[in-house]
Amino acid sequence: MNQRKRVMAIASGGGHWVQLRRIMPALDGMDVFYVSLDPSLAADVPGHDYYTIRDVSRRDRFGILVVVAQLMKILFKERPKVVITTGSLPALIAMVLAKYLFGAKTIWIDSIANAEKLSASGKKAGKVADLWLTQWPHLSGPDGPQHWGAVL
């Protein structure tokens, strides 16, 4: 039996990762592993396991298959109870797999860069995420994401 209370924190490179780093203090002392797109980011999360997956866009069907395979391998090994992400598409795929195959609780924080409307992945995340957040008050609503605050 898996008794570990493992948390998966995942984000694409660039701005998504920078935003994830800004919420890292919320996970202090927890059993967290990180996933992103660039091997050098392991240096940002000393003391934690870190995995690299490839980037993928909506139109890249082969790439999506590769990312699913990479994520399945990680998920079978780590069995996270919670997945938290600041986007984007690879993280959405991770959320779907972790939730429906492993029963993980999922948290989506849409990027602060999406100031006018939710990201495409962020909209889809609403159907999956147990906690669905936007960083912009005006994008929140009763049928939409909640606004709990922002990383800036």
Partner 1 sequence: MFPFDRLIRVMDEWTAAQGRTDVFAQIGNGTYEPKHMKWTRKLDQLDFAKTVQDSELIVAHAGMGSVIMADQYAKPIVLLPRIQEQGEHTTDHQIATAAWLRGKPGIHVADTDADLPPSIELAFATARDTSGKWASAANPEFLTKIRQYVLDSL
The site that binds partner 1 (CB under 8 A) totals a number of residues, namely: 46
Q: Does 128 bind partner 1 (CB under 8 A)?
A: no
Comparing CB distances to partner 1, the nearer of 64 and 112 is: 112
Taking CA atoms, 91 is separated from 3, 12, 29, in Å, by: 24, 7, 23
Q: Which one of residues 75, 96, 97, 119 is an interface residue with partner 1 (CB under 8 A)?
A: 119
Give least dist CB 26 to partner 1, A.
4
Closer by beta carbon to partner 1, 69 or else 148: 148
Identity of the residue numbered 24: M
Kindly tell me which residue out of 2, 3, 17, 33 binds partner 1, with binding defined by CB under 8 A.
17
111, 134, 139, 145: which one binds partner 1 (CB under 8 A)? 111
Three-state DSSP state, 124: helix
CB of 58 to partner 1, least distance (A): 8
Q: Are 107 and 84 in contact (CB under 8 A)?
A: yes
Task: Please tell me the distance from the alpha carbon of residue 47 to that of residue 105, in angstroms, as a whole number.
Answer: 24
CA atoms within 13 A on the CB side of 113: 13
Among 74, 75, 107, 125, binds partner 1 (CB under 8 A): 107
β pairing state of 31-36 and 131-134:
unpaired
**CB 23 → partner 1: shortest distance, Å?**
5
Alpha helical stretches, state H, 31-151: 61-78, 89-102, 120-125
Q: What is the DSSP letter of 13?
A: S
Contact footprint for partner 1 (CB under 8 A) = 5, 7, 13-19, 22-28, 30, 38-41, 43-44, 57, 81-82, 84, 105, 107, 109, 111-117, 119-120, 130-131, 148-152
